[in-house]
Amino acid sequence: MVEALYKLQEKWGIEIIDLWNSEEMRQVEPELYERYMRDEIHPTRQGYLEWWTPVIRQRLCEILR
């Protein structure tokens, strides 16, 4: 699915926020990963709030400048 997203980016010139391939996101401590992720793809509410949202917010601010 991520590969398809990059094809869409190339075709339409859109921005994407790729958390899947992010080194920063992969470096989370194992105990935090257990708390933040329900499974390999879906975060918990706490994962969205404390982990994903700050990264997405920062990237959106960069994109919209």
What is the reported pLDDT for 57? 98
Per-residue pLDDT of the chain (65 residues; tens, 9 = 90+): 999 999 999 999 999 999 999 999 999 999 999 999 999 999 999 999 999 999 999 999 999 99
Q: How far apart are CA 6 and CA 2, in angstroms?
A: 6
Q: How far apart are CA 22 and CA 7, in angstroms?
A: 18
Q: How far apart are CA 49 and CA 45, in angstroms?
A: 6
State pTM to two decimals.
0.85
